[in-house]
Structure 1
């Protein structure tokens, strides 16, 4: 029997509950950067399925700005207040209605 790929394990984890890239990194044993890369591909692969890849965007912990251009990316600082205290995005896969 074949072992599940990292992307399959990522998708399975996100079907169970929402998670940040750091949490997924620890759970799957891959780097946080790899989680972002795999998440992008998982999101694209679900486009024609009955599931949705949802993202709660990163948010500045100082000014609460959450309008980042790419929610599947972890910005280094806030474009509004220049703060570096940014909360990670959170991913989840839900069944489309």
Structure 2
């Protein structure tokens, strides 16, 4: 039986996914997926995710209004853009390669 974090890592090895897509697939709340993603990213960085050459990659969140993508914490879903204050933020996407 795989742990939730193993299932998340396996899904990210298949294709890039957002936290909400993972939440739907795994029947978990999105905030819980973000918590697991932080641990998965650390595990991959430490070489504990299986293949030593793997990388946890993040396509950062992006403001749909002004295009800002320099958010402080890309493994989190910001509520609004610090530049234009818009709340239309595209979710970050994650993948393990």
- Do both proteins adopt the same fold according to a TM-score greater than 0.5, normalized to the shorter chain? yes
User: How far has the Cα of 1:48 moved from its partner?
Assistant: 3.1
- TM-score scaled by structure 2? 0.93
Give the match for residue 22 of structure 1: 20
How many residues align? The count is 92
- TM-score scaled by structure 1? 0.93
Give the match for residue 73 of structure 1: 76
For residues 32-88 of structure 1, give each alpha carbon's deviation from its aligned partner in whole angstroms, at most 9, with x where no partner exists: 001110000000001132210000000000000000000001000000000000000
Give the match for residue 35 of structure 1: 33
Give the match for residue 47 of structure 1: 45
Give the whole-Å Cα distance in 1 for the aligned partners of 2:63 and 2:87. 8
Segments ≥4 residues shifted beyond 2 Å: none
Give the match for residue 87 of structure 1: 90
Unaligned runs of 5+ in 1: none
Unaligned runs of 5+ in 2: 48-52
